Amino acid sequence: MANSSKAPVLGALETAVQRWRDRGEPSQPPSRWSPESWLRHFPQHHSFLNALPERIDRAEATRRAAHATTADGAERAFLVAMIWGYGPVGYGPWRTARVLAENPRAVQRLADVARVAQARGGVAAFRDLAGRRLRYLGVAFGTKYLRFVTVALSSDHVGPPILDAGVRRWLVTHAGVYLNIDEWRPSVYERYVALLASWSAELALTADTVEELIFRSAISQTGSAFWGEEWLRADEPASQEPARQAQAKLLELERLFESADPQAALEARQHLDELARIIDRRWDGSATLPDSAQPIDDRVV
């Protein structure tokens, strides 16, 4: 990948930032969730789950991570991060329970990672978690937990940016940057952090805010059922509808493969990336890859 420290801000990102500012810099809408399903899978946390609000936003998830350096606090922080991430998706509680059940001392491991985040920051915590991974916890949801515990516990309260399918798809579409997140690769994540740091410096925003705006842009363009938001689509022409629908299907498939085994996800990723390029060329003229973009094989990191 090209040197991220000098990456120019993309027009699509500038547009997202300007529209966000024009609307008074609204916060990301909170995630609605289904308490009944989570209570069935985590009856031991009945009181804690019942005390959570009906909708959870980033601030609430961060507040709940304040005691993540202890085993009990880490488990609760993890639960809230996963509730926020999965929203009303029905299989969220089962997948969260699987992470905790299928890894010996999983809660203690989460607390260890939180202590690393507290002492050395989110990128160091990512490297630590990559070194001793938790089975069934992928980068997309792992970085959600890392983000909240780092903001809650570190001295500067700056968290590492989340890297999930929505953000990754946006980077593919608008920047021609292909980040392989099927496995925990610190070098890939560090390049992503450097890229967002470059953009955030030019935009006078935090990298965390840049990630949030990219995510919201990606989700509004694909019409997610549970993150649906019209704040970026007000001027979208009708001719963009086929591209939007195709991108929505790609994002849905990518999320499904995030929970698959690494080899199957890697094989699928290559085909999904090529489909994204076809969509860009066929329908979405505003999202064509930049002329300077390198070939796909050279841009996978």
φ and ψ at 92, to 5 degrees?
Answer: -55, -50
Rounded to whole angstroms, the Cα distance separating 118 from 149 reads: 8
> How high is the pLDDT of residue 176?
86
Residue 297, number of CB atoms within 10 A of its CB: 8
State yes or no: pLDDT of 2 exceeds 50. Answer: no
Packing angle, helices 11-22 and 165-175, rounded to 10 = 120
Look at residue 270 in the predicted model and tell me its pLDDT: 61
CA distance 298 to 15: 28
Q: State which amino acid sits at residue 85.
A: G
What is the token pair recorded at 235? 């001027």
Q: What is the mean pLDDT of residues 233-262?
A: 56
Pick the closest to residue 164 from 125, 216, 223 (CA basis): 216
Residue pair 120/107 in contact (Cβ under 8 Å)? The answer is no
Q: Max CA-CA distance within the chain?
A: 55
Least confident of 216-220, 244-248, 266-270: 244-248
Name the range with the highest mean pLDDT among 69-73, 90-94, 232-236, 239-243: 69-73
Predicted confidence at residue 120, as pLDDT, reads: 95
Is residue 156 predicted with pLDDT exceeding 50?
yes
Lowest mean pLDDT among 64-73, 176-185, 251-260, 279-288: 279-288
pLDDT of residue 173: 85
pLDDT of residue 21: 95
Helix (H) or strand (E) holding 156: none
pLDDT value for 254: 63
- Give residue for tokens 């880490």: 74
HSE (CB half, 13 Å, CA atoms) of 228? 7
187-231 pLDDT, tens digit per residue, is: 999 999 999 999 999 999 999 999 999 998 887 644 443 443 333
- Which amino acid belongs to residue 51? A
For the whole model, what pTM was predicted?
0.77
In the 8-state DSSP scheme, what is residue 239?
A: G
Residue 260 is predicted with a pLDDT of: 53
What is the signed CA dihedral for 235, 239, 244, 250, rounded to 10 degrees?
-150
Question: Is the pLDDT score of 91 beyond 90?
Answer: no
Specify the pLDDT at position 133: 94
Separation of alpha carbons 134 and 136, rounded Å = 6
Higher-confidence residue: 10 or 147? Answer: 147
- Res 248 pLDDT > 80: no
C-alpha torsion angle, residues 64, 68, 73, 77 (rounded to 10): 40
For residue 119, what pLDDT band results from cuts at 50, 70 and 90?
A: very high
Q: How remote is the C-alpha of 189 from its chain's centroid?
A: 12
CA-based end-to-end distance of the chain: 7
For residue 132, the 8-state DSSP code is: S
Question: What whole-number percentage of the chain has pLDDT above 90?
Answer: 57
pLDDT of 33 over the 60 cut? yes
Q: Are 112 and 128 in contact (CB under 8 A)?
A: yes
For the ranges 7-11, 135-139, 264-268, the one whose mean pLDDT is highest? 135-139
Percent of the chain with pLDDT over 70: 71
Distance from C-alpha of 92 to C-alpha of 33, rounded to nearest angstrom: 10
pLDDT at 300: 35
Q: How far is CA 33 from CA 5, 44, 80, 112, 153, in A?
A: 38, 18, 10, 28, 25
201: CB partners within 8 A, 6+ apart: none
